[in-house]
Amino acid sequence: MAIREIEASLITRKIAEICTKANFELGQDALMALKQSCETEVSPLGRQALSILIENASIAREEKIPLCQDCGTAVIFVELGQDVHISGGEFNTAVLEGVRQGYCEGYLRKSMVKNPFGKRENTRDNTPPVVHCEIVPGSELKIMVLPKGGGAENMSRIAMLKPGDGIEEISELVVETVRQAGGAPCPPLVIGVGIGATFEKAAMMAKKVLGRKLDEPNPDTSLVEFEQHVLERVNRLGIGPLGTGGSTTALRVHAASYPCHIASLPVAVNLQCHSCRHAEVVI
C-alpha cells in the first residue's frame, strides 16, 4: 500500500470549518429527535421549551450564529489511517491552529482558561483542544469535533462499580446522575455511558458515543436493551425539558463497553445537553 500524503494546512482548514459547522448547524438527527419529543411531551411548558429549541436551531443555521453561547471545549476525535503521512507541518499544531481559526473566524465564544486552579486566564482563542487519536487501517483521515459545553460536562461522573454488579447497579448510577443534575445540564439529554475497560477509557468511551447519530442503532446489539431500559427510567423522573417538568428528560442513551480486569467494573456517565453538536470530515 502506497503512502498517502496529506498536507497539514488542509487539516487546519477542515478543522476550522467543522468547528463553525458544529456550532451553527444542529444535525438533522438531533433536530428530528427534538421534533418528535415535542409531539409526545406531556408538559405544556416542556412543549414550549422544545419548540423554542427547534426555532433556535433554525435561527442559528440561517443567521450563522452559535446554537448556544457556550461553544464548548473543542473535543476532537481523530482516526488516522496507517497509510497516511502528514506533510508540511506538525499534526498537533495543525489541529490547534484549526481550532483557533474556527473559533476566531466564526465569532464563537472562547471558554478555555489556563492555570485552572490559579488565575484562570482565558487563552482567548479557545485552544487548546482535547484530542483523542486512534490509528486505524486505511489511507483516510477522519476527524470529528464535538464542542462540549461546561454545563452538562460538569454533571457527568465516573464510578468504579464491583465486578458482581450488573445492569441494575449500572442503570441506577445513570438514573441517579441524571436525577441529581436536574435542569442544570440543559435536558433533554443524550446520555453517554462507557462500561468496562479502565478508569480513563470508560470516560473516553462515554464521550465518544455522544458522536453517534441519534437515528443510528448501537452497532453493539448486546447494549440496545440496556440503552432502552435506562432511557425509559430516566424519562420517568419528571425532570423534563430544561428541568421545568415533563416526560422528555433524555432523547437517547448511547452506551459502549470494553473488556475489563477481573477486579473491576468502571462505569462513566457523560451527559450531553440537547444541543448535541458534532461535525466530522473525512480527508
Partner 1 sequence: MKKLTLPASGDDIECLKAGDSLFISGELYSARDAAHRRMHYALQNGLDIPVALKGRAIYYMGPSPAPPGRVIGSCGPTTSKRMDKYTPLLIEHGTKVVIGKGERSQHVKEALKHSGSIYLVTFGGAGAYLSKCVKEAEVAAYADLGTEAIWRIRVENFPAVVAYDIYGGDLFEQETARYSRSTGKAED
For residues 59 and 114, the answer to whether their CB atoms sit within 8 Å is: no
272 near partner 1, judged by CB under 8 A: no
Identify which range of 83-91, 132-140, 179-187, 209-217 contacts partner 1 by CB under 8 A: 179-187
Show the site string, 19-58: x = touches partner 1 by CB under 8 A, - = not. Answer: -----------------------xx-xx-xx--xx-xxx-
Do residues 69 and 126 lie in contact, with contact meaning Cβ atoms separated by under 8 Å?
Answer: no
Q: 121 burial class (0-12, 13-18, 19+ CB within 10 angstroms)?
A: exposed
Task: Based on the shown chain and the rule CB under 8 A, indicate whether residue 102 belongs to the binding site for partner 1.
Answer: no
Does residue 114 bind partner 1 (CB under 8 A)? Answer: no
The answer to whether the peptide bond before residue 128 is cis (omega within 30 degrees of 0) is yes
DSSP 8-class letter at 25: -
Cβ partners under 8 Å of residue 97, min gap 6: 12
3-state secondary structure at position 86:
strand
Q: What is the largest CA-CA distance in the chain?
A: 60
Q: What is the per-residue binding string for partner 1 in 216-255, x denoting contact by CB under 8 A?
A: -------------x---xx-xxxxx-xxxxxx--------
Among 8, 30, 186, 202, which residue sits at the site for partner 1 (rule: CB under 8 A)? 186
Q: If binding is defined by CB under 8 A, does position 66 make contact with partner 1?
A: yes
Q: How far is the CB of 223 from partner 1 (least distance, A)?
A: 17
3-class secondary-structure state, position 87: strand
Neighbours of 77 (CB within 10 A): 20
Q: Which residues bind partner 1 (CB under 8 A)?
A: 42-43, 45-46, 48-49, 52-53, 55-57, 59-60, 63-71, 107-111, 120, 122, 124, 149-151, 154, 168, 171-172, 175, 179, 182-184, 186, 229, 233-234, 236-240, 242-247, 273-275
